[in-house]
Structure 1
Amino acid sequence: MSERAWNNNINCQNCSISQLCLPYTLDNLSLDKLDDIIERKRPYRKGEQLFQAGQPLKALYAVRSGSFKSFTVSNDGDAQITAFHLPGDLIGFDSIHSPTYTSFAESLETSMVCEIPFQSLEKLSDQLPLLRRQVMRLMSSEISADKQMLSLLNNKNAEQRLATFLLDFSERFKSRGLSSKEFRLSMTRAEVGNFLGLTVETVSRLLSKLHKSGVIQVDGKFILLQQIDALQQLAGVQLRSCLTP
């Protein structure tokens, strides 16, 4: 199917994850106006970047399918993953205060996005109070999640960090109408470790330990949470998407 053909079949009104994104709370007229500024392009392949740090801030990106990671790069060339993005998440909020992107965004698998030109979004938000309110709500949610993530990870040992990570993804998949017990992690063990501040060896060892104890079942990138209560005890908290970007 050509790019133009499948683009014509996509809009906010028929999007299954719109309740997680900008269209949430908008009426049909407002949705039509938002649809008019959104650009839906070809799928991104694994490893392709949406944008790089330092490039002009031209758009926000709503993940429609697949997944992405956001990361920064230090002066020494060390990459630090700051977030994983699932369908319904918006990418680029961390750069709104700047004329340029402050991080990199890269596809973890074949993925699709809705590109929302930032200048057009600003103008439309001035016309649609509900849209502006939703933008502010999503920004506030991201700031809150970032603070909670730092607090949680800074005060937890390696096993607690990994348990927290798995429970968060469980909640995030559940909010998208998917299974909260059985899901696929698109990122590598090394990427999980980078995000959690752990070595890849530690991540692999802890996954094997949880698998052997029957708390989870690991089959490659597929995870089955067999004892959620036990995982919550390991995490030391009752999670409700506390790490969601």
Structure 2
Amino acid sequence: MTVHHLFVVDNPTALRSMPQVRPQPLRPLKTKCSDCALSALCLPIGLGGHEVAQLDTLVAQRFKVKKGAALFRTGDPLRSLYAVRIGSFKTGMVSVDGREQVTGFHIAGDMLGLDAISADAHACTAVALEDSEVCPIHYTHLENLARQLPSLQHNLTRLLSREIVQDHTLLMLIGKMNSDERLAAFLLSLSQRLSARGYSARHFVLKMRREEIGSYLGLRLETICRGIAHLRDQGLAHVEGRNVTIQDPEGLKHLVAGCHRPL
């Protein structure tokens, strides 16, 4: 599930007027994939030392994206894929009537830009939820190297497949689950993704507002607020502001599965 493991739009047309990021090179020079703590979650997963060294040559110098800036916008041509190194992003689209639909939340270790591969242009806008850093990988060069390295081609295919699975998961959330189950599934997914990155699975801070959670889950703001109260009253999770405490992970799993909590 993209929650996929979070900037805020008060104006429904804001995605179209978001400032475009201007790359700000960092010092010292780029961190190599082989030295990055997120390599086990990102494109180099499972690659040998020599293969990672070849991938290193494709990764341009990382740059900062300030909170609220757009990394890319709907319709921008595909140039690079972006590995999130620090921080988080949301992706979204604006409907013809000007309303925003959040399509995903992306944290460190995730890859942004895969949406542009089919049509050579981005289908969504990616906005930083906080001050973040990304590692750009020129797509044409990546494609050429993937032809030479079957393991890299496999990883790229795996990332694309993960995007499809996440889309299917979202459809299931909206089509099959009630509001409390959707919210519980969202918190569980985020908890698990943060845990995989070495963060606490039970205590974390949301980087998005409740309106954005509602947009992603297909729920109104008041429904999100009621759901938060229901989870608290059942002793499953406590959400105060943006601070989340998962009190009963197994109980959340039972709720998502549509089961009654064990006595």
- Can you give the 5+ residue segments of structure 2 that lack an aligned partner in the other structure? 1-23
Contact 1:52 1:101 in 2 (8 A): yes
Separation in 1, partners of 2:99, 2:25? 36
Displacement of 1:152 in angstroms is 2.8
Aligned equivalents of 1:44 and 1:154: distance in 2? 34
Which has the higher mean CA deviation after the structures are superposed, 145-154 or 98-107?
A: 145-154
Structure 1 counterpart of 2:240 = 219
Partner SS state of residue 53, structure 1: coil
The answer for the alignment partner of 2:225 in structure 1 is 204
Conserved? CA contact 1:40–1:113, under 8 Å:
no
* Residue equivalent to 2:171: 150
Q: Give me the whole-angstrom Cα distance separating, in 2, the residues matched to 1:145 and 1:227.
A: 24
Q: Distance in 2 between matches of 1:41 and 1:174?
A: 25
In structure 2, the CA distance between the partners of 1:4 and 1:183, relative to structure 1 (3 Å rule), is closer
Structure 2 CA distance, aligned partners of 1:201 and 1:11? 45
**Match for residue 131 of structure 1 among 136, 149, 152:** 152
Decide whether the 8 Å contact of 1:53 with 1:100 is kept in 2.
yes
How much has 1:237 moved relative to structure 2? 6.3
CA distance in 2, matches of 1:165, 1:150: 13
The answer to whether residue 178 in structure 2 is matched with residue 160 in structure 1 is no
Measured after TM superposition, the shift of residue 191 of structure 1 is 0.5
Kindly indicate whether structure 1 or structure 2 has the higher relative contact order, using CA contacts under 8 Å at least 6 residues apart. 2
2:155 & 2:258 partners in 1: Cα distance?
28
Provide the C-alpha distance between the structure 2 equivalents of 1:145 and 1:37, rounded to a whole number of angstroms: 27
RMSD in angstroms over aligned alpha carbons? 1.7
CA distance in 2, matches of 1:219, 1:213: 15
Moved more, 223-232 or 36-45: 36-45
Runs of 4+ in 1 over 6 A off after TM superposition: none
Are 1:53 and 1:101, in contact at CA under 8 Å, matched by a contact in 2? Answer: yes
Q: Unmatched 5+ residue regions in structure 1?
A: 239-245
C-alpha distance in structure 1 between counterparts of 2:105 and 2:43, whole Å = 18
If each structure's helix is expressed as a fraction of its own residues, which one has the higher value? 1
Please name the residue that 1:7 is paired with. Answer: 29
Summarize the Cα distance change of 1:220–1:74 in structure 2 as closer, same or farther, 3 Å threshold.
same
